[in-house]
Each structure stands twice: as C-alpha cells, then as structure tokens.
Amino acid sequence: MSQHLKQSWPYPELVAHRGGGTLAPENTLAGFREGIRYGYRAAECDVKLSADNVCFLLHDDTVDRTSNGQGEAKLKTMAELSMLDAGGWKGAAFAGEALPTLANVAAYCRGQDMLLNIEIKPCPGRFEETGRLVAQEAARLWAGAAVPPLLSSFEIEALRAAQAAEPVLPRAFLCEEIPANWCEILRELDCVALHCDHHALTEALAGDIKQAGYQLLCYTVNDTADAERLLAWGVDSLCTDRLDLLPARG
C-alpha cells in the first residue's frame, strides 16, 4: 500500500486545516461543512482518546481553549465530552456544536467523498495506545473505502504503534523542523510522506525528499504567494486555514 501511494498521491493540493480552517470552530463538523462549502475535497483533523478510549477530535491536551469546559481531555469520558459546547467560543452561530467522534467524522467524510488526514494527537502518557486505537478505529470506519485516511503524527511512538496495528494504512511523519535523519525515520516507519512547517522547507530539501520517493505536505499555508512557491518546488499538498483565500483545486 505505502509503496503504491509513494507513486500515486490521491490527495488534492489543498487540504482544510482542522476541518474548516479559521472559518468555523476547529475540529468540529461545522468546520467540515465549511470545507465542503468552499469546494475542498480533503481535510485534516486532530484525534485523541477520551478516558474511556473513544477516538474524538481535539487539538489541545485540555478542553479549555475550544469549549466551555475545563480540564484535561484524557480524564473525561466521551459522555462528558459530548456535553460540552465546542462552537460557542467561535461565535453565536456555532453555539452548541459538539466535539465529534472519529466515527461522526468518518460518516460525514465518506458521505461527502471528502478525504481525510488524521493527525494522531496523543495526550501526555498515551502515545502508544492512541496510535494503536486510532489506527484500528480508522481501519474499521474506512473499511472498503477507495482511499483510506492518511495517518500522521509528530510522535514517533504513536506512528510506530499505528504501523504495528494497521500496517496497510498510509502514514506520514509530522515535524516542525526537518531532522537531518528524516529519510531514516520515514523508512523505519514505512511512511509515504513527510509533513512539515512550510517555513522549515527549502527548495533543495524539497527536491531531496521528492527524489527519495516520498510525498510532501506543508502546513499551515495561508498566503497565495507562499502557496505558489511551495507548489513550484514540488510540494504535493498544502494545509491551510484560509479556505476563503486559497480556492480549492485538484
């Protein structure tokens, strides 16, 4: 599977960051709806585990910033998390928006033919189990899909667990600064792609990554000039907050 994807990248050039970028509350179905409204065919989201091991969407280790709740996410059951308002902080129009489970998102994305990059985002101390359980849930939810979700993470331990649990699902290594041993990491984890902060990339390094047979995604690209430059360097996909500024394309 991964060798095939190195040669045939099924994801479009533009990917909606955290569902709908800055146009809707992040990591909510409202965000995914914005992505569809702007013609995006792919989105990225963050997935972690509740206290009772349900895969759900949230970026931070706590619920404080993006909900009306407080406290560590890993200490709350999905029943408790589902009671939170994850949209009101973004505006009255989004009040009452729920923290979705990965199952909720899978149903929406598959119904809309939207492709998904799942960032495995473990809470502290839960790297291995998050990688394993998110991969297993993704494999179950996307069984039979023409294009499986792409699993990515900053945490090598989580990616290693995902690889062991569901080796057929494609993986990508996420990094802010590109380490000198990037090729060794990608080879060890049998990744199809490297995902990096676009500020860390040079044209030469982009060429090296592509020459090695890997795909390349950059985040978070919110400027038209940056987007054109990176695509000219051979970057395959750009993750953006500005769905309104960067029109969806192939």
Cβ-based neighbours of 101, under 8 Å, separated by 6 or more? 54, 55, 56, 57, 78
17 counts as catalytic: yes
Are 130 and 49 spatial neighbours (Cβ–Cβ below 8 Å)? yes
Helix (H) or strand (E) holding 175: strand 171-175
> Which of 34, 27, 31 has its CA nearest to residue 55?
27
Q: Which of 4, 17, 195, 199 is catalytic?
A: 17
59 counts as catalytic: yes
Q: Hey, what are 223's tokens?
A: 């400027």
Q: What share of the chain is helix, strand, coil (3-state, %, to 5)?
A: 40, 20, 45
Are 120 and 158 spatial neighbours (Cβ–Cβ below 8 Å)? yes
Task: Compute, in degrees rounded to 10, the torsion defined by CA atoms 58, 51, 196, 34.
Answer: -20
C-alpha angle with apex 187: 182 to 192, nearest 5 degrees?
90
Q: Which of 59, 195, 198, 199 is catalytic?
A: 59
Q: Hey, what are 4's tokens?
A: 């095939």
User: Tokens 């009040």 correspond to what residue?
Assistant: 95
Active site (catalytic) residues: 17, 59
